């Protein structure tokens, strides 16, 4: 079972989860208030990125997904930090020097304090503020990379912060949740237009978290699964139709309505169910766009399940390719153990283990199994 020639292989990270030293965003503020764990120095990737990319290169990765920190680039409204831009220019060039194709996310969950304090995306000008930031970055860095994502998992962010109330800004309001999703779609569309204005050649998408919804034979459960599949998986993608050049898919979760089979679970309590991965990928065929799996991974502190998890999920990905889905790359989440949002540093997703006392990096056996797949381009 061979993957297509030129298929991109890599892993993913996100700025706040690995960089360390970010204290001017909403998550840092909430951490200081004791409402979420503190990221602190994280894994100090901001200072160690070159050595970290050496590790990715040693594992035969051909691409890497990472994010920029908006609060570093625009620490005050309308005032941009050129030193931050140059830092990220160096990051992108370090990847390319090692033969890794950069996939750059412009916003991965954390908001600059000044933006969150004025209401974030709920502010009447929220979409314009975001598009201005995206356009500035592309004017400065658009010639450095081909693949850009405006945002990561917009529905997950909106749900955590505006529906479940467990993430900043800690709201629990269904109508606000639905409204902010529309604002995020508008923000992406406006940013897409602004970004293409200065660099029409770049490829722009989002990293969209889709779930697999199924049901038992009870009619209401079947209807519920269909409604959720439409609302969660497709409504946002339809709202940005015509404003994306590829789809980035993040996949982790299976949701069943009613009774059914019990599955082995990850340390996050998520089912290990590779057939669900196939189904969610196949759903994307209707959009007739290139697909990159921008996140897929397992919390596995003992590394007992990760290698087999990667192999079986990639078998499902190959099935989707054989079914006509135009999948062009796969990014495991994550390259390193990192700060997992409201869970702090407890969960271990990394191909590379982190000793949080010394920050020593140790490559796990599963990372080598992934490398074997990469080198053979087959599973």
Residue 302 has a pLDDT of 98
Distance of CA 132 to the CA centre of its chain: 22
CB contact set of 232 (below 8 Å; sequence gap of 6+) = 155, 210, 211, 213
pTM of this structure: 0.98
DSSP string of 285-338, one letter each residue? GGG-S-EEEEE-----TT-SSHHHHHHHHHHHHHHHHHTT--EEEEEEE-SB--
d(CA 319, CA 301): 29
DSSP string of 59-118, one letter each residue? TT--EEEEE--HHHH-SBTTB--HHHHHHHHHHHHHHHHTTPEEEEES--S--BHHHHHT
Q: Give the closest residue to 270 by CA, choosing from 244, 242, 249, 300.
A: 300
Whether a cis peptide bond, with omega within 30° of 0, leads into 337 is: no
d(CA 270, CA 251): 11
| List of E strands, 176-323 | 203-215, 247-257, 291-295
**Cα-only R_g, the chain:** 20
Q: Give the closest residue to 155 by CA, choosing from 40, 36, 236, 217.
A: 236
SS3 219: helix
pLDDT tens digit sequence for 186-233:
999 999 999 999 999 999 999 999 999 999 999 999 999 999 999 999
Q: How many residues are there in the chain? A: 379
Residue 1 has a pLDDT of 78
d(CA 40, CA 46): 12
Residue 332 has a pLDDT of 99
Q: H or E segment at 282?
A: helix 274-283
Residue by residue, pLDDT tens for the chain (379 residues) are 799 999 999 999 999 999 999 999 999 999 999 999 999 999 999 999 999 999 999 999 999 999 999 999 999 999 999 999 999 999 999 999 999 999 999 999 999 999 999 999 999 999 999 999 999 999 999 999 999 999 999 999 999 999 999 999 999 999 999 999 999 999 999 999 999 999 999 999 999 999 999 999 999 999 999 999 999 999 999 999 999 999 999 999 999 999 999 999 999 999 999 999 999 999 999 999 999 999 999 999 999 999 999 999 999 999 999 999 999 999 999 999 999 999 999 999 999 999 999 999 999 999 999 999 999 999 9
d(CA 19, CA 36): 18
Q: Which tokens is 73 given?
A: 């680039």
SS3 201: coil
d(CA 50, CA 164): 38
- Pairing state of beta strands 8-12 and 327-333? parallel
CB contact set of 335 (below 8 Å; sequence gap of 6+) = 11, 12, 13, 52, 55, 56, 64, 350, 351, 352
Residue 43 has a pLDDT of 98
d(CA 330, CA 12): 10
d(CA 124, CA 130): 12
Q: Which tokens is 283 given?
A: 């759903």
- Residue 343's alpha-carbon distances to 29, 103, 347, 348, in angstroms, are 16, 26, 7, 11
135 contacts 195 by C-beta, under 8 angstroms? yes
330 contacts 272 by C-beta, under 8 angstroms? no
């Amino acid at each position: 079972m061979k993957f297509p020639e030129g298929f991109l292989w890599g892993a993913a990270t996100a700025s706040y989860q690995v960089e360390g030293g970010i204290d001017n965003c909403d998550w840092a503020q909430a951490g200081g208030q004791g409402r979420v764990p503190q990221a602190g120095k994280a894994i100090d990737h901001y200072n160690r990125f070159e050595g970290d990319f050496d590790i990715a290169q040693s594992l035969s990765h051909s691409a890497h997904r990472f994010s920029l920190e908006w609060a570093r680039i625009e620490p005050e409204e309308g005032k941009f930090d050129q030193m931050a831009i140059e830092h990220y220019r160096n990051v992108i060039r370090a990847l390319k020097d090692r033969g890794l194709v950069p996939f750059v996310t412009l916003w991965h969950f954390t908001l600059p304090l000044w933006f969150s304090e004025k209401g974030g995306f709920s502010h009447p000008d929220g979409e314009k503020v975001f598009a201005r930031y995206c356009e500035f970055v592309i004017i400065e860095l658009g010639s450095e990379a081909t693949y850009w994502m405006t945002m990561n998992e917009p529905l997950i962010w909106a749900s955590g912060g505006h529906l479940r109330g467990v993430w900043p800004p800690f709201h629990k309001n269904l109508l606000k949740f639905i409204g902010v999703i529309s604002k995020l779609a508008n923000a992406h569309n406006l940013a897409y237009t602004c970004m293409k204005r200065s660099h029409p050649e770049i490829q722009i998408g989002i990293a969209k978290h889709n779930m697999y919804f199924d049901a038992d034979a009870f009619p209401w459960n079947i209807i519920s699964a269909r409604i959720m599949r439409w609302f969660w998986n497709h409504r946002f993608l339809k709202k940005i139709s015509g404003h994306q050049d590829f789809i980035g898919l993040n996949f982790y979760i299976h949701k069943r309505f009613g009774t059914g089979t019990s599955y082995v679970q990850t340390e996050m309590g998520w089912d290990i169910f590779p057939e669900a991965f196939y189904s969610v990928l196949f759903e994307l065929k209707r959009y007739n766009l290139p697909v990159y799996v921008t996140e897929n991974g397992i919390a596995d502190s003992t590394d007992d399940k990760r290698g087999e998890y990667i192999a079986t999920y990639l078998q499902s990905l190959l099935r989707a390719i054989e079914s006509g889905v135009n999948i062009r790359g796969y990014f495991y989440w994550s390259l390193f153990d990192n700060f997992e949002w409201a869970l702090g540093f407890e969960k271990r997703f990394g191909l590379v283990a982190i000793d949080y006392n010394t920050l020593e990096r140790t490559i796990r056996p599963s990372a080598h199994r992934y490398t074997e797949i990469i080198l053979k381009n087959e599973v």
